[in-house]
Structure 1
Amino acid sequence: MQVRPISPEQLVQLLADRIEALPADDGRRLRVAVDGAPAARPGELADALVEPLQLRGRPVLRVSAADFLRPASVRLEYGRQDSDAYHDLWLDDGALLREVLDPLEPGGSGRVLPSFWDAAADRATRAAYTELPPGGVLLLDGALLLGRWLPFELTVHLALSPGALARRTPAEEQWTLPAFARYEAETGPASAADLTVRSDDPRHPALVLR
């Protein structure tokens, strides 16, 4: 395994090129996941990919897994700071499949619900459905996405060392750290992802070459 330093701007262009190179000649819609702990800022990388892909003529839909959490009655059944529940129960995999990923399968309708649950208000977002045209790209960001049998054409994992994860996680979220330790031990996201980027310093990412 080799690690190649890369600038944030080069990383965005490299990922946009990689997405553009994925087979989509038949109008296939592409599902791309940017996985990482909140401290790794996966949403920022997904946001940065929107314009380069649009400049390549690709319609883009941005979705965040944080908008597909289960109701508080399920998430917080074992308390507000239960790391195992955070790992196992918070993400509503079924809603994400049903409302976002499955409609983008080949021959699917392309009709996607961009958000499902408002965790702060603990109610449905009542968002309107939107259609991703053929050849479009879904950019989904979130934590703990891999190892769940969710279908993607490309997965990117933003890796943090345990020390960097602890330093960059706010004090009020330190209780989630055991969940990410479990994720490393049980899922091995750096190996499960198609591309892994070391992100201990967001100003100086490094691409892991396998």
Structure 2
Amino acid sequence: MTVAETAADRGSRVRIVEAAARLLREQGVRAVTTRAVSQAAGVQAPTIYRQFGDKDGLIDAVAEHVMATYVAAKSETAAGEGDDPVADLRAAWRAHIDFGLANPGLYALLTNPDRAERSPATATGIEVLRARVRRVAAAGRLRVDEDRAVAMIHAAGAGTVLALAGQPAGQRDPDLAEAMFHTVAATLFTTAPATPDAEVATVAVTFATVLPGLPGLTDAERALMAEWLSRSLTHLRTAG
């Protein structure tokens, strides 16, 4: 294959993915047919089969493309966030809900477990969320360990989008997304520990966050301290 042919293939692939993404966003999954996409992209149907294999391969490529674009924008936003990590997380939550409701068909594809588990962009999105949660933990405002916080926020966000997207736009509760965030935030975050156990848990979570970067410790010492912290947090959760 010549350089010119490779460049041409890349160009047609981009046109196909963008055309399919536009059809998906505007008309839903059923509109993404080989015929419709080939017409919208200005290519022959065999080009789609050659580059993507079948319709499922094309849908996978579209989902990955849109998700990667969205995650890149989230990463840029995260790099310029302010002094209140919880407020920044709330703004990211709102943006996530808005993205899902603006792209309901695509969002359903992105949250399909079969696709999500093999999506690099989805994995990157989780890491962006994890970085935001880590900022909350480093500020001493996280009640639970990072993994649980990430899992709860991710699950609550996906559930909120799917619940709202399943309703006619005019019948949606406009306050549901905000209420869901406040419910999750009340469980995960704190501004001032209310009890001695809560204070201990907050300190333990914060220390676990900074532990990997502490100087002067061996790997074995870090592992032992991490085990102690994990055991203490498990005890506090059980006792509570």
Larger Rg: 2
More strand by proportion, 1 or 2? Answer: 1
Tell me which interval the TM-score lies in, with the shorter structure as reference length.
under 0.3
Output the TM-score relative to the length of structure 2.
0.24
